[in-house]
Structures are given as structure tokens and as C-alpha cells.
């Protein structure tokens, strides 16, 4: 699949075809890590699900910090 680097405002970017976004479950606003290796570019979607799980874990740890502290003894 070929895509073209395009001017977007003061930046440049590529347009990812809708079929690819749908197949990968991606949407506008998703964040990626950009890796460059051996002259190639790799975009890796960030783990939004993991971020949500970590947020829930932090809330639970704060709520039960006294009990967790006792269990850690």
C-alpha cells in the first residue's frame, strides 16, 4: 500500500486509509510511538488499555493503602 507525505498545516504527515484504521481498531486521537531503525519508520499504538488499568490500580491502592501496608509486613 502506498501513501504520500503531505503538508498538513505547518507539519507534514501521511493519511492512513480508513480500511487500515478499521482493521486495527484505531481512531483519531490515538497516540503512537515512532521508532526509526535501519531507514524504516515503525508506528506502534500506545497501550491505552494498559493506561486505564494502571489508573484503576492506583485508585485501588490509594483506597486500600492501610490494608496493603499491613499485608506487606
Q: Is residue 65 part of a domain?
A: yes
In this structure, of 10-14, 54-58, 64-68, the range with the lowest mean pLDDT score is 54-58
Per-residue pLDDT tens over the stretch 12-57: 999 999 999 898 888 888 888 899 999 999 988 877 667 778 888 9
Domains contained in the chain, number: 1
Q: Is residue 29 part of a domain?
A: yes
- 43: domain range? 6-71
Q: Is residue 27 part of a domain?
A: yes
Contact in structure between 25 and 47 (CB atoms under 8 Å): no
Q: Is residue 1 part of a domain?
A: no
Per-residue confidence (pLDDT) for residue 48, from 0 to 100: 60
Angle of CA points 31, 36, 40, to nearest 5°? 110
User: What CA–CA distance (Å, rounded) separates 5 from 11?
Assistant: 10
Which residues are paired to 7 by β-bridges? Answer: 12
Contact in structure between 30 and 46 (CB atoms under 8 Å): yes
Amino acid at each position: 500500500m502506498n501513501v504520500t507525505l503531505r503538508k498538513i498545516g505547518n507539519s507534514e504527515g501521511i493519511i492512513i486509509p480508513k480500511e487500515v484504521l478499521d482493521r486495527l481498531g484505531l481512531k483519531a486521537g490515538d497516540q503512537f510511538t515512532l521508532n526509526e531503525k535501519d531507514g524504516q519508520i515503525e508506528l506502534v499504538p500506545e497501550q491505552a488499555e494498559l493506561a486505564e488499568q494502571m489508573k484503576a490500580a492506583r485508585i485501588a491502592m490509594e483506597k486500600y493503602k492501610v490494608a496493603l501496608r499491613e499485608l506487606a509486613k
